[in-house]
Chain A
Amino acid sequence: MEYIVGIDLGTTNSLVAFMQGDEPVVIPGVDGSNLVPSIVTLDPPQPAADGESLPRPTVTVGNSARRALIATPERAIYSVKRLMGRGIEDIGEDLKLFPFRIASDVQPGEVLRIQLGEMSFTPSEISAYILRQLKRNAERFLGAPVKKAVITVPAYFNDAQRQATRDAGRMAGLDVLRLVNEPTAAALAYGLDRAADAPARTVAVYDLGGGTFDVSILKLNDDIFEVVATNGDTHLGGDDIDNLLLMVALDEIRTEHGVDLRQQPDAIQALRKAVIEAKIALSAEPAAKLDIELPGGGRYQREIPRAVYEQLIQPVLERTAGPCRQALADAAMTPEQIDEVVLVGGSTRIPAVRRLVDEIFQLSARGRRPHTELNPDEVVAMGAAVQASILAGSSAATDQLLLLDVTPLSLGIEALGGVVARVLQRNSTIPASATEHFTTGVEGQTNVAIHVVQGEREMAKDCRSLARFDLKGIPPMPAGLPRIEVKFLIDANGILQVSAREQRSGQQAQIEVKPTYGLTDEQVEAMILDSFDHAEADFAERQLIEARLEADTILSAVDKASENSAWARLSDAERAAIFAARDHLIAVRPGSDLKAIREATTALDAATRRFAELMMDEAVSQAMRGKTMETADRTLNADEIHAPHPFAPAQIEDEPVAAAQATGERHD
């Protein structure tokens, strides 16, 4: 059986799902969790093995990488999705807010590379490591090779961001059959539960994830999911809320305690963890507490009442309202014409987000409630699995379903004076095509340069540069006589293809495509993850090798356990249980019973769970005491940070005062 999996490659978490019979099911990782945190860390350098000139770099992905995020932040990266398909000249804001370390030799106009320890990687390569982990999780779960996938992208992703995602899939050894827009995937996941004879209806999907925001308006009719309008912001999400809270805390720690943590990436990561926990708590509780030990023995203690928190994040949430209204306008609809609203993305758990959505779409005023039945973290991956099943033609439940999506951004060509001549309007159903004619301006001219852009602005320089095409090999003719027909085709993935022909001579004009922020085929080829993924011949053997590697990883961690101060905090019984599980794993490891090795590994993992938690605690408090100063030279461009002060000093009793202070300082 050939499996096609559905993958949600998220800013914060990534998931893989598949169609089990007629139901989409999320596949858990080795640790039992459905969510694989989108964190990648480069493992410490290994000594070269005999006969190898260079050791192969290895990485850790997901929950296991979390620890390294605090211990060795200079070898770790998260939220890499923000960098996909972008150039160094348009990530200034992100550099202020995220500890991205861009390789020092990256030039404007080049594909970015991120420095992890002694090596550098493109965002697509980092994403490929995440995808490869998901692929392995799926193979482990399904007991069969997985080579094909549907991957979701934010609906508002432009051509370069989509290409970067597709490249990542290829590097991970996946044939990416389709890129599906995240809100549309969510609609598909919900749509499956519906009766087939339901009347036509209009659905809005509001998708606020870790780093991206999308809104899509769909018409559902007779099993056809037809997107009529989409809008969004590829740099807006839960990350922005975390950063806001983080900056406030950093600022307060500096002004109240005279401690500047901004130069300490490990301390910042620990603080980030604390503010994220506070954010999550504030979705359910009226207040959350931050209580953090500082270098020098002081404590940063702060209560955040929900009202203050909501006022702080309001500007971030408000930024989702504009795209919603634009999508409604583009669909030529009023809020009252939206029958149902679907909430997607972890950030839609925030009550203030739900109130905003209610207001925008007039839900409670009409006695309606948004759909939240499916887990907002998992619904996109489930929808991707549904689309995978549509492509595979493998399930009766999806046999009749058809998804008609649109291109989120208008396509244009730079015309005389730098203005944009629109070739295709946004919200055109894809695949879509357009034909334009070009000619020469000089006698005997054999080349015509064309600049393709994407976006809604009037001037080409304000739009996203997609590519520059050189039409070559035009037969020499008097100026204005050649008639070159250029065909633009946006495929079902939302990716542009271009072809050209000189009509008078019938000659196929050559096109040399220079994608502005993309990798060439050769570059992608060279980056295909160098692993035994290609040795498809012996899948069982590969699984055995991987199982033994997994076993080795945990065994070596247990060997070093006694060096950690957390070890002393375990009870004798806990230590005995760990040793027993360890000895069992050592015994079964050399054998060829895959199941036995895996079970023994899982058992040892379970036995050491409490130890891992204790160790994590130690790492956090150590980081906060500033004991790992060897990384202190890494900066976060911290001098740029000017945080608002929404929290009144000390423990807050009186909310209105706090609120007033917040507004007062925001305008300084």
Chain B
Amino acid sequence: MSNCARCQQPMHDSPLICAACGAVQSVAGIDYFQVFGLKRAFALDTVAVEREFHRLSRRLHPDRFARGSETDRQNSLAATALLNDAWRVLRDPVERVEYLLKIEGHAVGEEHAGKGKSAEREPPPDLLEEVFDLNMQLEEIRMSQRMGESAEASTMTEIAAAGKRFEAMLGEVDAALQAEGAKWDAGDAATRAQAAKKMIELLDRRRYVRNLVRDVRAAVTAQALQQELYGGNFVAESL
């Protein structure tokens, strides 16, 4: 723990503000976990962190320094932005995983897969067949929609079922991420390296599946709109 830049007292809990004199500190080099006085970990007590977010907001927010010096106001702005950024990222389980892996020195997402040949477009091997079928059906639906027709009811049913399966798959990925995260939190260096590798793969798989879910939802929504439009409901409602 460092000392306060103004009163030189040792700092406790959050490094953003001095508990003794209330001075907002410079934020350089502070990570999102340190903002809340936490050790790096994948597991997070979001209720407790939210409470801390509110407590720190009350003390750091620019509203509290409207009459302060220029330095105080700049520090408050920077510290509150960091606090908000930290809470926004840490409260989201997936963003939290990506962030923690990144500050631990791992390449994730685009950096991992490389721009352009993104992992999002290369299906995981075990999904190849299913994804091929799904894409055929999606294309079929898009074709009919372009012609101004409704897609076959059977195709829509299959698509909806596939959407459900992929959504369930997202849930499985998230559970697996959580399990690997727990291993990392409790493990030694070797365990951590293994867990991190697993999580990076899981993140790639997650992005891929999430895009599939999104495509299915878009197709189903477009179909619903089309039916309203040509079923006459849309015209009546717009009056």
Using a CB–CB distance below 8 Å, which chain A residues touch chain B? 177-178, 221-222, 224, 311, 315, 390-393, 400, 402-404, 428-434, 489-492, 663, 666
Min C-beta distance of A479 to chain B, whole Å: 16
CB distance A492 to B63 under 8 Å?
yes
A402 with B61, Cβ < 8 A, contacts A663-B239, A666-B239 known: yes
Give the chain B neighbours of A430 by CB distance below 8 A. 81, 84
Instruction: Please name 14 pairs of A and B residues whose Cβ atoms are closer than 8 Å in the assembled complex, sorted by A.
Output: A178-B66, A221-B54, A311-B239, A391-B66, A393-B67, A402-B58, A431-B80, A431-B84, A432-B81, A433-B85, A489-B77, A491-B62, A492-B63, A666-B239
Interface string of B166-179 (1 = CB under 8 A from A): 00000000000000
Q: A177-B66, A390-B63, A392-B66 in contact; A432/B88 too (CB < 8 A)?
A: yes
Q: Give the top 3 A-B pairs by smallest Cβ distance, nearest first.
A: A391-B66, A431-B81, A433-B81
Distance of A144 from chain B, by nearest CB (Å): 18
Known: A222-B54, A224-B58. A403 touches B63 (CB 8 A): yes
**How many angstroms between the C-alpha atoms of A433 and B54 in the bound complex?**
18
A487 to chain B, nearest CB (A): 10
Is A404's CB under 8 angstroms from B85's CB?
no
Enumerate chain A residues within 8 angstroms of B63, measured Cβ to Cβ. Answer: 178, 390-391, 402-403, 492
A178 to B64, CA, bound (A): 12
Q: Which of A315, A430, A489, A492 has the most CB of B within 10 A?
A: A492
CA distance A199 to B236 in the complex (A): 43
B81 touching A392 by the CB < 8 A rule?
no
Q: A402-B58, A433-B85 are in contact. Are A491 and B77 (CB under 8 A)?
A: yes
Within the complex, which residue of B54, B77, B87, B238 is in contact with A492, where a contact is CB–CB below 8 Å?
B77
Please tell me the number of chain B residues within 8 Å of chain A, measured between CB atoms: 19
Residue in B58, B61, B63, B77 with the greatest tally of chain A CB atoms within 10 Å:
B63
**What 7 additional pairs, Cβ within 8 angstroms, besides A390-B63, A402-B63?**
A222-B54, A391-B66, A403-B63, A431-B77, A432-B81, A432-B88, A492-B62
Chain A residues, Cβ within 8 Å of B61: 402, 404, 492
Least CB separation from B51: chain A residue: A222
B14 interface residue per 8 A CB criterion? no
CB contact between B88 and one of A311, A429, A666 (< 8 Å): that residue? A429
B82 in the interface, Cβ–Cβ < 8 Å? yes
Query: How far in angstroms is the closest Cβ of chain B from A411?
Result: 13
Distance to closest chain B CB from A184 (angstroms): 12
CA distance A432 to B57 in the complex (A): 13
A659 nearest in chain B by CB position: B239
A439 to B78 alpha-carbon distance, docked (Å): 25
Chain A residue with the shortest CB-CB distance to B58? A402
Q: For chain B, residues 72 to 95, give those with C-beta under 8 angstroms from any C-beta of chain A.
A: 77-78, 80-82, 84-85, 87-88
Residue of B nearest to A425 (CB): B88
* A588, chain B: closest CB distance, angstroms: 41
Residues of B within 8 A of A429 (CB): 84, 87-88
Residues on B with beta carbons closer than 8 Å to the beta carbon of A391: 63, 66-67
Which residue of A is nearest B235, CB measured?
A: A667
Distance from A466 Cβ to chain B, minimum over Cβ atoms (Å): 18
- Chain B hits for A433, CB < 8 A: 78, 81-82, 85
CB-CB under 8 A from A400, the residues of chain B are 58
| Distance in angstroms between the alpha carbons of A177 and B64 in the assembled complex | 12
Q: Give Cα distance in the complex from A653 to B87, angstroms.
A: 61
> A432 CA to B87 CA in the complex, in Å?
11
Chain A residues near B85 (CB-CB < 8 A): 432-434
Chain A nearest CB from B26 CB (Å) reads 14
User: How far, in Å, is B40 (CB) from chain A's closest CB?
Assistant: 19
A432-B84 in contact given A402-B61, A404-B57, A663-B239 (Cβ < 8 Å):
yes
CA separation between A178 and B73, bound complex, in Å? 13
A428-B82 contact in complex given A402-B61, A402-B63, A492-B77, C-beta closer than 8 Å: no
Report the minimum CB–CB distance from A251 to chain B (whole Å): 19
A393 CB contacts on chain B under 8 angstroms: 66-67
Min CB gap B174→A, angstroms? 16
Per the bound structure, the CA–CA distance linking A428 and B95 in Å amounts to 14
Pick the residue among A224, A392, A431, A434 that contacts B54 (CB under 8 A).
A224
With a cutoff of 8 Å between Cβ atoms, the chain A residues found around residue B54 in the complex are: 221-222, 224
| B25-81, CB < 8 A from A | 54, 57-58, 61-63, 66-67, 77-78, 80-81
Cα–Cα distance between A315 and B238 once the two chains are bound (Å): 8
Residues of A within 8 A of B82 (CB): 433
A-side contacts of B58, CB under 8 Å: 224, 400, 402
Contact of A428 among B57, B77, B88 (CB under 8 A): B88
Residues of A within 8 Å of B239, CB to CB, are 311, 663, 666
- Residue numbers in B under 8 Å from A663 (CB-CB): 239
Distance from B83 Cβ to chain A, minimum over Cβ atoms (Å): 9
Docked Cα-Cα span, A340 to B228, in Å, equals: 32
B62 partner residues in chain A, CB cutoff 8 A: 431, 491-492
Task: Write out the residue numbers on chain B whose beta carbons fall within 8 Å of the beta carbon of A177.
Answer: 66
Which residues of B are found within 8 Å of A178, using beta-carbon distances? 63, 66
A157 to B163 Cα, complex, angstroms: 37
Report A-chain residues with C-beta under 8 Å of the C-beta of B80: 431, 492
Cβ-closest chain B residue relative to A150:
B66
Q: How far is the CA of A30 from the CA of B83 in the complex (A)?
A: 46
Q: Which of A315, A390, A428 contacts B84 (CB 8 A)?
A: A428
- The distance from the CB of A381 to the nearest CB of chain B, in whole angstroms, is 19
How far is A401 from B239 in the complex, measured between Cα atoms in Å?
A: 45
Tell me, in angstroms, the Cα distance from A390 to B58 when the chains sit together.
12
| Chain B residues within an 8 Å CB radius of A434 | 85
Interfacial chain B residues near A491, Cβ < 8 Å: 62, 77
Complex: A391 Cα to B54 Cα, angstroms:
18
A177 to B68, CA, bound (A): 12
